[in-house]
Amino acid sequence: MKRNLPKFVLWSLMMLMASLVFASGGSEDDVVLRVFSADSFSSEWGPGPAIAEAFFEETGIQVEFESPGDTVTVLNQLILEGGETRADVVMGPDNGMLKRVLEAGILSPYASPVLADVPQELILDESFHLLPYDFGQFAICYDSESGVRVPTSLEDLTSPEYEDSLILMDPRTSSPGLGFLLWTVAAYGEEWPAYWERLQPSILTVTDGWSQGYSMFTTGEAPLVLSYGTSPAYHAEYEESTRYLAAEFSQGHMTQIEGMGILAGTEHREEAEAFIDFVLSPAAQEMLALYNIMNPVNSTVELPASFDVAIRPSILEFPGGAPSDEENDALIQTWIESFAP
Amino acid sequence: MKRLSQEGAPALALIWPLLLWVVAFLAPLVAVAFQGALSLGTLGGLLSSEYYRGVVKVTFHQALLSTLVSVVLGLPGAFLLARRRFWGQGLLKSLSTVPFVLPPILAVLGFILVFGNAGAMNDLRVWLLGADSPKWRFLYSLRGIVLAHAFYNFPLTLRIVGDAWESLPLSSTRAARSLGASPARSFWHADVPRLLPALGTAATLTFLYCFLSFAVVLVLGGGPNLSTLEVEVYRLVKYQLDFDQGSALALVESSVALALLGIYALADMKLRQRNLDHSTTTQKREKKALSRWESLWALAYALPAVLLILAPLAAVVINSFLGRATRSAPLTLTLSHWKRVFGGGRTAGVPAAAALRTFALGGLTAVTATATATLAAWYAYRRRGISVKLMEWGLGMPLGVSSVILGFGFLILARLVPPSPVLRLAALLAAHTMAALPFSYRLIAGAFRGISPRVPQAARCCGAGPWRTLWGIELPLVRRSMATAGVFSLALSAGELNATLILAPGNFTTMPMAIYRMIGAYDIFGACALGSVLILLCTGAFAALDRYGQKEHP
């Protein structure tokens, strides 16, 4: 018995672990609306849970999120699954991915009546397959305590005083990274590779994603980072700090409009439409501002006070609309080669 | 009948590892293969492009350098842990494995907090040499990549070679010394050949890890001119959905990895055959206390090594306690981040539940991976020939396959798994076990090979069946390696992010997921607090496993 005791303890510990792991599911009988979204949206720290709860209180419809990764992963999964998907609604594909979404033919259009409250310039898809729910402008954020001079334009960033000061993201692996690349293409036209050559001394590093870059910025590794015009609102809202601010550039800013849509094969069309209407309604739009730190698209919404520190610069359109995947890849290839030593 | 069970038992033991391999490794690869038509033309096209040749060159270059530095840094540490006794030994050993667990995003952040342009080392420079002295640039170049890879991987050498060093039998050195060999000669001729297989294992695993590295290379390399094949696979498969070119490139990666594993297996077999130990004594050498002269060089080694490993971890912990009340207020110590993470509010209870899940899943992974690896290693030990070689290759393969490709396979297969949480979690456990298996197998198989074949022969003569010999005699002899395998399996599972995101059911948030999500929601310091908990819990779990492995068997 004495020798068996440790073994007994080990076994019961294992059983306990097993039951803990397997005990976290719920029942599957209720009718639920399946929303596929990026992990950042459905996360406990994102806007998803709050919106789902409010939606349930208003309509009695349950929402279940599924998030296998970032928006690109979600979209890939939906494209791979085609008609067999269990998803009813997708949230997250932005104006940069619009062509891919439309080509895949996975969404069915819905002209929500609430779109009447959305400014025309934010309607990212005239055919209403992908409906906007929030937007943000890519911007260079700066640490006002570092003593860095606030840059005023893309060209200003190439100034020698910014040597090793700027953290960017890789357009191969990150959507802000691609957004910034397109921004420079929109601003400089054919001359954009030359701009990047001038910019290189200012770049400290190019990170794989926004999270890594922004965390390096807030821990003081560099005074400038590629982020969003709304980023200062987070620090104002949750840290009561105006240390981190966004620089407004003269030539206008590239804009990311995040969209949602109803899957063509859904069996819960009515509930899906109700959900879309709800996300566009002022109640949910306020949550998006607070928990996603993006601008709401509904113009009747009063912005939280913390958004006073956010910038709302003019929108710079990409000439001829967002490029296709192939065009993006060609740009990215030229971009990498501009770095060759 | 008796004969049949003697012969059949090892084959029976192989069923489970084989099943797991097919479900959790082969199936996702096949699923990806169905998405694209792999042709030699595509492959030739890729390799004739100057751009991709450059990427291949960078990938090799950084992996070789990183492996060299990791191994050289790890060796003195392995000696100190294995042959000397000093205060804090166990803690150091446990802590050294923690970088394996931290999600890359936090590990890289900790690294930058110490070695970055505005990091602690540069604060030290300002304090020593004044603010006008030129900046110390450790990162954002090839040097940065190599340093960070050493930070991640030198525990592999420390532990694997250290374990081998610790289990060197007393008999060999006694024999050498009694024949009149000096300590140095006895070390060179009796010990070094026995350490070489472990060194080969550590170096191979380190190389493969660095070869397939992703975020570290991008962030600390400083720009896209230093990027690896894995980044290109990611770009092709994920952003272009170009499975033809993506898998062609992944195939280049895998061929290199498999060729290396093949060479390694051959060398390993040769080395170990030479070392086969027929003595039945398991008596180990005593660990000595450090002599005065040794203390000096141990300190000279340990200070930078400890700085490399512990300072980034410490930086993460310290950051979770730092706050600046208002703009331009002085930096102060605060508990506010901890209160925000573990207090009430929207996310109340989430971090605690995440910690519980991470460790439950990690514990289960450690048990299944170690058990699976033990069964496979037992088969290899009892059988000879082509089937063993095939199995070893197969079990090494997950190390050489792009995680982007494997993740995509999971994504395709995930829809075949019914949405039942139990099935989802079983799939997740299988994926984690598979990721840990190459490590666990190498460790345990190495230990099995150190047992003389006379041991099972003797047991058989005494009438013990194969299972009883395994349970009663062979397992106790490989226990130390099983414990180390458990440590690495727990570490790999507790730090795993991609497969978890894809396979876990909706509400199954683990700690790496929570950390990643908090940083994604701007809460970097809260993520540091959660990271600190992960560091603390893992150190404890590793220490417990190490103690279990160290215990003398009856």
Check residue A47 and give its pLDDT. Answer: 93
Closest CA to A273 of A31, A33, A81: A33
Residue A3 within a domain: no
> Which of A73, A81, A208 has the CB atom closest to B215's CB atom?
A208
A55 and A129 housed in the same domain:
yes
- Residues with pLDDT less than 50, chain B: 1-4, 327, 553-554
List the structure tokens of A92.
Answer: 């997250």
Distance CA B2, CA B12 (A): 15
A122 and A262 housed in the same domain:
yes
Interface test with B, best of A40, A45, A86, A240 (most B CBs within 10 A): A45
Helix (H) or strand (E) run with residue B476 in it: helix B475-477
Distance CA A165, CA B306 (A): 30
Distance CA A163, CA B385 (A): 61
- Residue found under tokens 């190459």: B438
Beta bridge partners of A316: A254
Cβ-defined contact of B360 to A17 (cutoff 8 Å): yes
Cβ-defined contact of A21 to B412 (cutoff 8 Å): no
Contacts of B506 in chain A (CB under 8 A): 42, 64-67
Is residue B275 within 8 A of residue A110, CB to CB? The reply is no
What's the CATH code, domain B1-34+348-554?
1.10.3720.10
Contacts of B57 in chain A (CB under 8 A): none
Contacts of A43 in chain B (CB under 8 A): 509, 513, 517, 520-521
Q: What is the 3-state secondary structure (H, E, C) of B14-71?
A: HHHHHHHHHHHHHHHHHHHHCCCCCCHHHHHHHHHCHHHHHHHHHHHHHHHHHHHHHH
> Which of B231, B411, B522 has the CB atom closest to A234's CB atom?
B522
Helix (H) or strand (E) run with residue B453 in it: none
Closest chain A C-alpha to B201 CA, distance in angstroms: 30
Distance CA B220, CA A204 (A): 10
Q: Could you report the per-residue pLDDT of A182-206, keeping only the tens digit for each?
A: 999 999 999 999 999 999 999 999 9
Beta bridge partners of A245: A142
Cβ-defined contact of B224 to A172 (cutoff 8 Å): yes
Cβ-defined contact of B240 to A329 (cutoff 8 Å): yes
Residues in contact with A83: Cβ distance below 8 Å, sequence separation at least 6, in sequence order: A264, A265
Closest chain A C-alpha to B216 CA, distance in angstroms: 9
Contacts of B501 in chain A (CB under 8 A): 39, 67-69, 73
Alpha carbon A237 to its chain centroid, in Å, reads: 19
Cβ-defined contact of A73 to B411 (cutoff 8 Å): yes
Query: In a 3-state reduction of DSSP, which class is residue B294?
Result: helix
B39 reaches A (C-beta below 8 A): no
How many contacts, defined by CB atoms under 8 Å, are there between A and B? 211
Q: What is the 3-state secondary structure (H, E, C) of A25-67?
A: CCCCCCCEEEEEECHHHHCCCCCHHHHHHHHHHHHCCEEEEEC
Q: Could you report the per-residue pLDDT of A155-184, keeping only the tens digit for each?
A: 999 999 999 999 999 998 888 999 999 999
Q: What is the 3-state secondary structure (H, E, C) of B344-411?
A: CCCCCCHHHHHHHHHHHHHHHHHHHHHHHHHHHHHHHHHCCCHHHHHHHHHHHHHHHCCHHHHHHHHH
Closest chain B C-alpha to A283 CA, distance in angstroms: 17
Cβ-defined contact of A68 to B347 (cutoff 8 Å): no
Residue A10 within a domain: no
A273 and A128 housed in the same domain:
yes
Cβ-defined contact of A68 to B361 (cutoff 8 Å): no
Taking CA–CA distances from B109, the nearest residue in chain A reads: A216
B416 reaches A (C-beta below 8 A): no
Task: Work out whether the CA dihedral A290, A87, B354, A20 comes out positive or negative.
Answer: positive
CATH code, domain with A49 = 3.40.190.10
Taking 80 as the threshold, does the pLDDT of residue A299 lie above it? yes
Is residue B323 within 8 A of residue B525, CB to CB? The reply is yes
Query: Where does CATH 1.10.3720.10 sit in chain B?
Result: 1-34+348-554, 49-99+142-279
Looking at residue B188, the DSSP 8-state letter turns out to be I
Taking CA–CA distances from B520, the nearest residue in chain A reads: A211
- What value, to the nearest 5°, has the Cα angle with vertex A96 and ends A248 and A54? 85
B36 reaches A (C-beta below 8 A): no
Query: In a 3-state reduction of DSSP, which class is residue B552?
Result: coil
Q: How many residues does chain A have?
A: 341
Q: How many domains does chain A have?
A: 2
Taking CA–CA distances from A50, the nearest residue in chain B reads: B346
Check residue B416 and give its pLDDT. Answer: 75
> Which of A72, A145, A221 has the CB atom closest to B118's CB atom?
A221
Q: Which residue has the higher pLDDT, A271 or B135?
A: A271
A243 and A202 housed in the same domain:
yes
A243 and A328 housed in the same domain:
yes
Helix (H) or strand (E) run with residue B282 in it: none
B179-193 as b/e, with b when 16 or more CB fall inside 10 Å?
eebeeeebeeebbee
List the structure tokens of B486.
Answer: 């458990």
> Where does residue B344 rank: exposed (0-12), middle (13-18), buried (19+ CB within 10 A)?
exposed
Contacts of B116 in chain A (CB under 8 A): 216, 221
Report the CATH fold assignment for B49-99+142-279.
MetI-like fold (1.10.3720)
Residue A11 within a domain: no
Check residue A210 and give its pLDDT. Answer: 93
Residue A7 within a domain: no
Distance CA B262, CA B267 (A): 9
Cβ-defined contact of A43 to B520 (cutoff 8 Å): yes
A43-68 average pLDDT score: 92
A200 and A327 housed in the same domain:
yes
Helix (H) or strand (E) run with residue B473 in it: none
Residue A20 within a domain: no
B389 reaches A (C-beta below 8 A): no
Task: Please state, rounded to an integer, the average pLDDT across all residues of chain A.
Answer: 89
A163 and A59 housed in the same domain:
no
Residues in contact with B434: Cβ distance below 8 Å, sequence separation at least 6, in sequence order: B20, B21, B24, B25, B398
Contacts of A50 in chain B (CB under 8 A): 346
Side chain identity, residue A211: S
Residue A19 within a domain: no
Q: Which residue has the higher pLDDT, A17 or B367?
A: B367
Closest chain A C-alpha to B172 CA, distance in angstroms: 33
Distance CA B54, CA B225 (A): 9
Cβ-defined contact of A325 to B523 (cutoff 8 Å): no
List the structure tokens of A60.
Answer: 């009695």
Contacts of B412 in chain A (CB under 8 A): 80
Check residue A28 and give its pLDDT. Answer: 46
Closest chain B C-alpha to A83 CA, distance in angstroms: 12
Chain B stretch 290-309, residues whose beta carbon is closer than 8 A to a beta carbon of chain A: none
Cβ-defined contact of B415 to A242 (cutoff 8 Å): no
A238 and A327 housed in the same domain:
yes
Interface test with A, best of B49, B219, B234 (most A CBs within 10 A): B219
Is residue A329 within 8 A of residue A182, CB to CB? The reply is no
Residue A4 within a domain: no
Closest CA to B276 of B475, B449, B479: B449
Taking CA–CA distances from A22, the nearest residue in chain B reads: B422
Distance CA B306, CA B290 (A): 18
Q: What is the 3-state secondary structure (H, E, C) of chain A?
A: CCCHHHHHHHHHHHHHHHHHHHCCCCCCCCCEEEEEECHHHHCCCCCHHHHHHHHHHHHCCEEEEECCCCHHHHHHHHHHHHHHCCCCEEEEEEHHHHHHHHHHCCEECCCCHHHHHCCHHHCCCCCCCCEEEEEEEEEEEEECCCCCCCCCCCHHHHCHHHCCCEEEECCCCCHHHHHHHHHHHHHHHHHHHHHHHHHHHHEEEEECCHHHHHHHHHCCCCCEEEEECCHHHHHHHHHCCCCEEEECCCCCEEEEEEEEEEECCCCCHHHHHHHHHHHHCHHHHHHHHHHHCCEECCCCCCCCHHHHHCCCCCEECCCCCCCCHHHHHHHHHHHHHCCCC
Taking CA–CA distances from A211, the nearest residue in chain B reads: B520
> Which of A13, A28, A293 has the CB atom closest to B419's CB atom?
A28
Q: Predicted confidence band at A3 (pLDDT cuts at 50, 70, 90)?
A: very low
Residue A24 within a domain: no
Side chain identity, residue B163: D
- What value, to the nearest 5°, has the Cα angle with vertex B442 and ends B74 and B387? 150
> Which of A210, A212, A231 has the CB atom closest to B215's CB atom?
A212
Distance CA A242, CA B536 (A): 33
Q: For residue B204, what are the CA distances in angstroms to B168, B256, B264, B400, B438?
A: 22, 12, 7, 11, 11
B344 reaches A (C-beta below 8 A): no
Check residue A97 and give its pLDDT. Answer: 87
Side chain identity, residue A268: H
Closest chain B C-alpha to A29 CA, distance in angstroms: 11
Distance CA A122, CA A134 (A): 9
Domain extent at residue A50: 32-135+256-309
Q: For residue B170, what are the CA distances in angstroms to A69, B189, B287?
A: 53, 14, 11
Q: Could you report the per-residue pLDDT of B236-295, keeping only the tens digit for each?
A: 888 778 888 888 888 888 888 888 888 887 777 777 776 665 555 556 677 777 788 888
- Residue found under tokens 């030990």: B381
A95-109 average pLDDT score: 91
List the structure tokens of A83.
Answer: 């008609």
Contacts of A328 in chain B (CB under 8 A): 239
Cβ-defined contact of A17 to B363 (cutoff 8 Å): yes
ipTM of the complex: 0.85
